[in-house]
Structure 1
Amino acid sequence: MAAGISFQDLRGRARRKLPRFAFDFIDGGAGNETALDRNEAAYRVQCLQPRILVNSDRALPLNRSFLGQSWSLPFGIPPIGLAGIAWPEIDLLLASAAERAGIPYVASTPATVSLERLHEAAPTSAWFQLYVGKSQEITSDLLDRARNAGYRTLVVTADVPRPGLRQRDARNGFSLPLKPRPALAFDLLRHPGWALRTARGGAPRFANLEPYASQGSSTQSLAQLMAGQSSGRLDWALLRQIRDGWSGPIILKGVCAPQDAARAVDAGIDAVWVSNHGGRQLSSAPAPLDVVPAIRRALPEGFPVALDGGIRSGEDMIKAIAAGADLVFAGRPFLYAVAALGPTGASRLIAQFANELENTMAQIGWSDLDRQCGAG
């Protein structure tokens, strides 16, 4: 990646290369998008306290332990639904990049590549993210498939009781399958690279749900199946049932309230993931960076905490760690990196994040990610 390229650079390049409906699907948030704005603004206003005269004339350690596994870097790639709208089979590109870098990759229920293929691409890095949908039969089978594929860590997403109301998608008339319209045809003509790649690789699809569709079903029926994965059926009792049936670690994703974090501990959950779904569910949701200190205080000492939402740089990651997160995740930057730079974009972004992390640590006098300041 060229020196000095920023998140805004990647976003701008991706915007030029993607059709409007595809860019807006990735870029947009719920309602008036104030939660999306709030996520990023929280990092802009948060400062770090520089400390001077700390000897940093060495490679600063960036490794992190989380749920008993050692990771090379303190960040990972979160579950991203319908990621293939940015690049065909981008899920495989992201999984492979994560495996090479030694960071977590979370395969999503609405991935555009099957969970089995994603585990093959990232056998030591992949976790599986579960939406508890309306159908218990589908939910149980997804868990069986994840177990049989070799996944050990399960991420249960808890913040989708209803589909998010995303105005950009509504304005663009975005749905699956894409409906032929003059505006869509003109948009595709203006973005021939995306159109040709998609024609060769196939339209984005919900690969994990295809086994549950009727024989010869349309993309529309798969989209309806996916809509059923946004369900208010998940409650604490059902979460305990999932806990009882899964032998590995479980992370509860979508926690924004300290009370819910404390209750997750009582339910036998192994880690909480502070998230407002990237601002894509509730426009009034608080920024994860703002609530993680209170959530940390509500948990037992040393209880693992992950976080996503608004992270755009390695410096942002340090702010999240300073606020109380153990491991952080960035989603949109990876989609923009691949859309802007091609198949190598994910690996190049990982390298840039690592460089930004180490530079920030040196600037503020951290000797490691446990915030040990050599200045005393």
Structure 2
Amino acid sequence: MPAITCIEDLRQLYHRRTPKMFYDYAESGSWTEQTFAENTSDFQDIYLRQRVAVDMAGRSTASQMIGQDVAMPVALAPVGLTGMQSADGEIKAARAAEKFGVPFTLSTMSICSIEDVAENTSAPFWFQVYTLKDDEFMRRLFDRARAAGCTAIVITVDLQIMGQRHKDIKNGLSAPPKLTPRSIANMMTKVGWGLEMLQTKRRFFGNIVGHAKGVSDPASLSSWTAEAFDPSLNWDRIAQFIRMWGGKVILKGILDAEDARQALNVGADAIVVSNHGGRQLDGAISSIRALPEIMDAVGDKIEVHLDSGIRSGQDVLKALAMGATGTFIGRAFVYGLGAMGEAGVTKALEIIHKELDTSMALCGRKSVKDLDRDILLVPKGFSGEWE
């Protein structure tokens, strides 16, 4: 195997080893994929300011996210269907995050259940929820998260209506997936992936099947998912979920300064500046472009994290220097998981950590806590001068 030196190396290996249906699920955006592409390309418009003759001994990337100590301010984002990228994928990713010392966030639409992850890890993890209609199901979900020792809930607020992702429709990727002769034929060429999947009992949505009303098997899942999401969502409803949980809450999917202020008003502990990885509103601005205005609006009043587009430690460095307290990676760890299982997630974290540490040093800073805009060269009008 050639040396793996960057996240792109993991993506290429992931592409070869994972069925097209699940690769496309991760590596796609909605409609024209403009926002999906600009999430990454906009980071390249920001330059780093190199400094020399600065004592760089004793550097540290250690920090905190919502009061929790982290080896670096990078959390694993909630990604649905992670257990189809690699057998027992959520467990593998959670173990890698635990060993590395960063937070893992389990998606409601995971293959492995809350209980599966809790039984196979020892560090507390975060749990992501959607804003669903069924209060009874939501309360049970929160109860299960408490019983598993989850220390925070991440509420996804930008998915009350699903954005259209052309590749998923063409591939039959839904809940549950609709297998076609073409997709089955493709899966049969991914021998390593298939052998692992045959050895696990976890192939369905473990947090839904057997827990949601009327969903006793995968066949009954489709009608539930079609009806579960609440298009009438408003801030009062989000506040209700925050009270229902009663613990630390992160609101994920904030892209506008006014929404950031609303998140502050309803009592969130942190927000994630995110456009859902470009999978919802195509044509929305990238997360890194949205960050400065949101920092100006609420950055001194609430913890601000950033998600969507991070593929390197330099991207993490730029987000932190622009004011974010922490970051989330989704695709970057999924590439590693699909490429090499748990070891691949660890490799992704190692790559990002090394890039963050080295770049921070070359910018003349010894700690992520000391990062600020002074290490960046940001183009005029980067955040937009809109009419």
What's the TM-score, normalizing by structure 2? 0.90
Report the alpha carbon displacement of residue 4 of structure 1 after superposing the two structures with TM: 5.3
Q: How does 1:1-376 map to 2 (within 5 A)?
A: 5-56=5-56, 58-202=57-201, 204-213=203-212, 217-299=216-298, 301=300, 303-371=302-370
Q: Does structure 2 retain, via aligned residues, the 8 Å contact 1:99–1:121?
A: no
TM-aligned CA deviation for residue 302 of structure 1? 5.5
Q: Bigger CA drift: 233-242 or 76-85?
A: 233-242
Identity of aligned residues (%): 33
Distance 1:229 1:54 in 2: 55
Gaps (5+ residues) in structure 2? 376-387
Change (3 A) 1:218 1:284: same
User: Structure 1 CA distance, aligned partners of 2:247 and 2:296?
Assistant: 25
Q: 1:240 to 1:187 in 2, by over 3 A?
A: same
Q: 1:180 to 1:293 in 2, by over 3 A?
A: closer
> Deviation string for 1:42-82 (max 9, x for gaps)?
112111111222111x2411111222222111101011111
Residue deviations 1:322-362, cap 9 Å, x none?
Answer: 11111101111111112112331111221221111110111
Contact 1:71 1:103 in 2 (8 A): yes
Using a 3 Å threshold, how does the CA distance of structure 1 residues 129 and 50 change in structure 2: closer, same or farther?
same
The 1:124–1:189 alpha-carbon spacing in structure 2 relative to 1, beyond 3 Å, is closer
Structure 1 range deviating more: 274-283 or 132-141: 132-141
Aligned letter for 1:236?
Answer: W
Q: TM-score, normalised by structure 1?
A: 0.93
Q: Is the 8 A contact 1:103 1:125 kept in 2?
A: no
Task: Return the alpha-carbon distance in structure 2 between the equivalents of residues 169 and 27 of structure 1.
Answer: 10
Deviations along 1:291-330, whole A, 9 cap, x unmatched?
1111111115252111110000111100111111111011
Distance 1:214 1:260 in 2: 32
Is the alpha carbon distance of 1:300 and 1:164 closer, same or farther for their aligned partners in structure 2, counting shifts above 3 Å? closer
CA contact (8 A) 1:98 1:122 kept: no
Shift, 1:124, TM fit = 3.4
Instruction: State the shift of 1:218 in Å.
Output: 3.4
- Determine the C-alpha separation between the residues in 1 that align with 2:248 and 2:7: 32
Task: Describe the superposition over 1:122-178 as per-residue Cα deviations: whole angstroms up to 9, x where unpaired.
Answer: 443401111121322211211122122222311111000112201001122334544
Question: C-alpha distance in 2, partners of 1:305/1:31?
Answer: 28
CA distance in 1, matches of 2:212, 2:297: 42
CA 257–122 in structure 1, closer or farther in 2 if over 3 Å, else same: farther
**Contact kept in structure 2, 1:165 and 1:281, CA below 8 Å:** yes
Give the unaligned 5+ runs of structure 1: none
- Counterpart of 2:209, as a letter, is E
Q: For the Cα contact (< 8 Å) 1:275–1:307, is it kept in 2?
A: yes
- Cα RMSD, aligned residues only: 2.3
Report deviation, 1:237. Answer: 0.8
Equivalent pairs, count? 374
Q: Please say which of residues 10-19 and 196-205 is displaced more in the overlay.
A: 196-205
Change (3 A) 1:31 1:60: same
Q: How far, CA to CA, are the matches of 2:312 and 2:270 in structure 1?
A: 24
Q: Which amino acid in structure 2 is aligned with residue 126 of structure 1?
A: F
The alpha-carbon distance between structure 1 residues 302 and 201, as it changes in their structure 2 partners (threshold 3 A), is same
Question: What one-letter code is carried by the residue in structure 2 that aligns with 1:49?
Answer: R
SS at match of 1:318: helix
Q: Which amino acid aligns with 1:240?
A: A
CA 1:203–1:164 in structure 2 vs 1: closer, same or farther (change >3 Å)?
farther
The DSSP-based 3-state class of the residue aligned with 2:357 is: helix
In structure 1, what is the equivalent of residue 385 of structure 2?
none
